[in-house]
Structure 1
């Protein structure tokens, strides 16, 4: 049932058309979660045949839908979803009175459409019905009518596509501690976890290498273990909290269950079975030495906020659990600090990290991977510019994972030969956030707060944020777009001193991330233009060469907004009228630039050096510049710095040209400040004057 060009890339020919189960796992990327469909789940033979023929046609034929003149065969990664949709559409039509596609009439389509609009996938189901019609020539049972001709599925279901990204952005109060915890795991906790893994591996190797002990030798080994722990001032390893249900009657002291971890103690003593026959020794030792959490020798590093160990000591089970959290932390660091999609992260190879010198001579940290969205099944090669923390995460994964090809592939335990790929990332991220709260929360305050107004289970309790993988790409694109010059101050954002500015962050990756950042930047510029308008509308001061032109345009917009008597212009209309200004707006620290090439003073200076235009903050008297009250503190700071430089220079001889330059710069800044502080406020217009007749 597979096209020859897909089957040729694999040793297997794939499932046959008549097979009950189609499993395409060998032909799709390993990050694909659902790869098989079972036609036996469809009870009706006619529907089963229709779905089978439909999927075969979707995979092998390109049939345009509606007004589209182009189409491509369906990618195998969508097989399971399309199976579910086709099965659902046929079931709903049968329930509406059309057991066969050929029986469907307009009234049946209207009936199922009304039901679909109550669900969250109405447009998707309507689209599948349109695909069923387009592939009718390849179906035994085909539609006799065209569903909703001339209208797209989104138009039919009343789900218009918005130009703005609808993916939720993770709030900064959540991303900041989440990234802080993930970076700590990658840069600090990883060392403890890797050391503990090595310690457990050494204990297991020593046990397997030693001969099986007799009963007397086993008792002597337990006694020797107790003696070693007594000499070291250590307690008896206690049962972990996750096993409390097996020791319901055991008392708890300082959060530690007062019962021995017999399986782990057996490993420490080199025994191949538990220590049940030596419980008298353990009870006596516990009475003397007490119990301790964990039990491995590997010490835990301090959590920088408190200076205390970031977690209690570990036992082998805790090492396994923490390794899983470490993999999730690596995913978070790589995804958030690269802008990569989930599949792009999980499909990274073990040789993905490399460095390359930039144009300025400094090394750039990069990742090499593949992009799959809207590409061929095997994806296309791509590169991402990243931070050094991402390379650190890659190095950690190389040490804890053992898949020969995939960075995120690993075997789940001793004796397991088949590697698995990390998956179910939303659940894993939520579990990591909950674990970080257990480890790092302070008294009465969660380390990673919940979502206000959510259903946390109790009245007034905030619910944990519902993470999805696209949110990370959306969030970092938003941050890049909404920070001055497209950067994020890592030290401020993540409380991590070594995190550099996110310079060159979006890169030129073919994954489309730069385009998403550009879309966010357009939205950010429009937001900022709206702020400038509202500041002007409330008689905020302004100055600069472009102030008169922009203020006149603001006045025109205000007049237009008051055009309809008795109505108030909504925010959407205002933003529409500001769009043309936002396209030329470049926010700056000492002033904003409404860039017009013919009047830009920076153009002549930039062209010989090949600098990008506009050059913000370099032409303080440029006709394109406009300053408002929000620039005043920065201008005053620059003036004070120039004044301090002149004062300091007064103590020693200063070259005349340098002193003249400082004097001129100081006077210039003073003039710009005066333009703002002595600006004439915008006079409110009479809405009844200069009104354009309504059309």
Structure 2
């Protein structure tokens, strides 16, 4: 689970090195003698070389807005990518799931050892970025509620409460101590899930996405009858768009498959109808 540029970069690297070799094998990427992988120092030099090459290309093609500006903090060494990694993990759909599956070692012994060699360990950055992503989610919900947005579902009132809690953090620089408090605060456990067209206001004892009690939801396994579900007017707009899409597909495929598309479209419209019948607004909770 990764963002598209990462996937594309890995595919390119796989074509540059022999099958089964390291993606950054010294033999494949360096003309000097050596074995194993490229060193951290060499990787840092390569990043700077890439910046210079990209700027030359942008200038040659008149794309001045694509020029990478000088960095006020110095060279872009490999350690600087820790924050980018933390930012993307925390803000991607199911980012915490990806962290547990693919980057789990970052929060275990490797992470502890890594952090001990640096003041800013990757797991600390992940806590800060996860907290910021959480506040961004509930702050956006707060603004939408102020504009009259409606919310439905068994967790609708908890979503509104979480949105009100976020106001105290809006516009502030979140410290590591605050980040840990936010991550651990059950009232702020709100996860938007655009793929499932819903919002998860997570409460461990109500979760149906996994059998074991966990601190975070499994957003790739949302269950329709879960007590943590909330949907906003914006989710419903997307649900109706998906229903129209399914109906259009149903008209272009054979009978059984078309019938299945139509049943799914009808189910989505039932969800939309239930939302409009039961939605509550910020004024309803005053």
Q: Per the alignment, do residues 541 and 401 of structure 1 end up closer, same or farther by CA in structure 2, a change over 3 Å counting?
A: farther
Q: Per the alignment, do residues 439 and 573 of structure 1 end up closer, same or farther by CA in structure 2, a change over 3 Å counting?
A: closer
Contact in 2 for aligned 1:581/1:594 (Cα 8 Å): no
Equivalence for 1:263: none
Cα deviation digits, residues 206-248 of structure 1 (max 9, x gap):
xxxxxxxxxxxxxxxxxxxxxxxxxxxxxxxxxxxxxxxxxxx
Q: Per the alignment, do residues 425 and 470 of structure 1 end up closer, same or farther by CA in structure 2, a change over 3 Å counting?
A: same
Question: Which residue among 250, 271, 274 is the counterpart of 1:672?
Answer: 271
Equivalence for 1:109: none
1:482 Cα shift? Answer: 0.9
Equivalence for 1:607: 211
Q: SS at the partner of 1:622?
A: coil
Equivalence for 1:370: none
1:664 Cα shift? Answer: 5.3
State yes or no: 1:595 paired with 2:202.
yes
Give the Cα separation in 1 of the matches to 2:235 and 2:220. 13
Contact in 2 for aligned 1:545/1:623 (Cα 8 Å): yes
Give the Cα separation in 2 of the matches to 1:570 and 1:618. 29
TM-score by length of 1: 0.30
Equivalence for 1:506: 103
Cα deviation digits, residues 631-688 of structure 1 (max 9, x gap):
2454234323443454456x53x39xx95x76654333113334556745422999xx
Question: Which residue among 147, 154, 169 is the counterpart of 1:545?
Answer: 154
Q: SS at the partner of 1:607?
A: coil
Give the Cα separation in 1 of the matches to 2:62 and 2:86. 33
1:503 Cα shift? Answer: 11
Equivalence for 1:400: 31
State yes or no: 1:584 paired with 2:215.
no
Where do 1:313-392 residues align within 5 Å? 391-392=22-23
State yes or no: 1:468 paired with 2:66.
no
Contact in 2 for aligned 1:543/1:628 (Cα 8 Å): yes
Q: SS at the partner of 2:25?
A: helix
1:186 Cα shift? Answer: 5.2
Where do 1:141-152 residues align within 5 Å? none
Cα deviation digits, residues 259-315 of structure 1 (max 9, x gap):
xxxxxxxxxxxxxxxxxxxxxxxxxxxxxxxxxxxxxxxxxxxxxxxxxxxxxxxxx
State yes or no: 1:515 paired with 2:141.
no
Q: SS at the partner of 2:41?
A: coil
Q: Per the alignment, do residues 618 and 663 of structure 1 end up closer, same or farther by CA in structure 2, a change over 3 Å counting?
A: farther
> Of Structure 1 and Structure 2, which has the larger fraction of its residues in helix?
2
Equivalence for 1:529: 138
Equivalence for 1:480: 89
Question: Which residue among 628, 631, 656 is the counterpart of 2:232?
Answer: 628
Question: Which residue among 418, 426, 436 is the counterpart of 2:54?
Answer: 436
Contact in 2 for aligned 1:522/1:582 (Cα 8 Å): no
Equivalenced residue count is 258
Give the Cα separation in 2 of the matches to 1:397 and 1:184. 15
Q: Per the alignment, do residues 473 and 502 of structure 1 end up closer, same or farther by CA in structure 2, a change over 3 Å counting?
A: same
1:592 Cα shift? Answer: 1.2
Cα deviation digits, residues 467-495 of structure 1 (max 9, x gap):
233211221221122111229xxxxxxxx
1:522 Cα shift? Answer: 3.5
Q: SS at the partner of 2:211?
A: helix
Give the Cα separation in 2 of the matches to 1:685 and 1:524. 26
Q: Per the alignment, do residues 446 and 670 of structure 1 end up closer, same or farther by CA in structure 2, a change over 3 Å counting?
A: same
Where does the alignment leave 5 or more consecutive residues of structure 1 unmatched? 1-171, 192-352, 356-389, 409-420, 457-461, 488-500, 562-568, 687-695
Q: SS at the partner of 1:586?
A: strand
Give the Cα separation in 2 of the matches to 1:570 and 1:399. 47
Give the Cα separation in 2 of the matches to 1:595 and 1:505. 22
Q: SS at the partner of 2:231?
A: strand
Q: SS at the partner of 1:593?
A: strand
Q: SS at the partner of 1:626?
A: strand
Give the Cα separation in 2 of the matches to 1:549 and 1:450. 43
Cα deviation digits, residues 10-61 of structure 1 (max 9, x gap):
xxxxxxxxxxxxxxxxxxxxxxxxxxxxxxxxxxxxxxxxxxxxxxxxxxxx
Cα deviation digits, residues 381-419 of structure 1 (max 9, x gap):
xxxxxxxxx944327537734225x533xxxxxxxxxxx
Give the Cα separation in 2 of the matches to 1:182 and 1:614. 28
Q: SS at the partner of 1:587?
A: strand
Q: SS at the partner of 1:400?
A: coil
TM-score by length of 2: 0.64
Contact in 2 for aligned 1:595/1:614 (Cα 8 Å): no
Q: Per the alignment, do residues 616 and 537 of structure 1 end up closer, same or farther by CA in structure 2, a change over 3 Å counting?
A: farther
Contact in 1 for aligned 2:158/2:187 (Cα 8 Å): no
Give the Cα separation in 1 of the matches to 2:56 and 2:8. 12
Contact in 1 for aligned 2:162/2:187 (Cα 8 Å): no
Contact in 1 for aligned 2:134/2:188 (Cα 8 Å): yes
* Larger-Rg structure: 1
Equivalence for 1:639: 243
